[in-house]
Amino acid sequence: MQYQGVLKKMATENLETVQYYLDMETDFLNMNQLLNKELEFHFITYECLSCGLEKEIYRQGFCKKCFFETAKAGDWIMRPELSKAHLGIEDRDLEYEKQAQLQPHIVYLANSSNVKVGVTRKNQVPTRWIDQGAHEAIEIVEVPNRYLAGITEVALKEHVADKTNWRKMLKNDIEDESLESWQEKLREFIPEEAKAYFIENNKETSINFPVEKYPLKPKSLNLKKQESYKGKLVGIKGQYFIFEDETVFNVRANEGLVVKIVVK
Ligand SMILES: [Zn+2]
């Protein structure tokens, strides 16, 4: 069987084990069913996720022009505290920004290699946690817009990490933490404007990834350089495919690449 399409981050479902779906244009592949199969990946070309043109991808699946122009790549996406739609101030496209920013957001703690704080739209829970490869996570506050979430994250970053270590996450070099006690411990550092949105009596969510064998020394596949790769899929965690030879492939970091996948 072979499939071709532009890579976009996989859709997921948090069942007993996370289910992963890769959209390959004419087919919607449940990647869990491809575990323990030999897969071949071929790099074909680029396709910008915004303009659809065959242009080299710069960042986040966008060509350079789109990255600097599309409303979907404004600075407030990576830095929520820069959000201004609640003041009616436009960054690139106020209508888009109002829709994206003026909706419930969650500031959360997720543990993938260490406990870290993050921000997501409420409707992206638990998707965001799955994408990060977190085996446990908890909501701290639910606020009505992205700005409030952003300033809360900035304040909490002084007391907890905001980055994960992808190698540790993939090696499954992890420790269980009581995120309920972390949430309680961080409570006093929430900014005044967001304190009323603290979520009381919350319980952490556990996530189980479909991984049969964790790599000891994960090495990252650069499909653009290598052009093709063949390996046996032994796991999926976060947005990474894990192969038997310890090669790992970050689907999200390769958005916008058109690939052909051959299933042996
Ligand atoms: Zn483009």
- Convert the pLDDT of each residue in 104-153 to its tens digit: 999 999 999 999 999 999 999 999 999 999 999 999 999 999 999 999 99
Centre of ligand 1 from the C-alpha of residue 46, in Å:
10
252 and 137 within one domain? no
pLDDT digits (tens, 9 = 90+) for 63-119: 999 999 999 999 999 999 999 999 999 999 999 999 999 999 999 999 999 999 999
Ion ligand 1 — residues with CB < 5 Å: 48, 50-51, 63, 66
Centre of ligand 1 from the C-alpha of residue 49, in Å:
7
Residue 251 pLDDT greater than 90, yes or no: yes
151 and 95 within one domain? yes
pTM score, whole prediction? 0.95
The helix (run of H) or strand (run of E) holding residue 20 is strand 18-24
172 and 105 within one domain? yes
Domain ranges, residue 130: 74-206
59 and 6 within one domain? yes
pLDDT at position 244 is: 98
Residue 166 pLDDT greater than 90, yes or no: yes
Distances (CA, A) of 26 to 6, 23, 252: 11, 8, 20
Centre of ligand 1 from the C-alpha of residue 105, in Å:
28
Number of domains in the chain: 2
Backbone angles phi, psi at 196, to 5 degrees: -70, -15
Residue 135: other Cβ atoms inside 10 A = 21
Centre of ligand 1 from the C-alpha of residue 67, in Å:
7
pLDDT digits (tens, 9 = 90+) for 181-222: 999 999 999 999 999 999 999 999 999 999 999 999 999 999
108 and 165 within one domain? yes
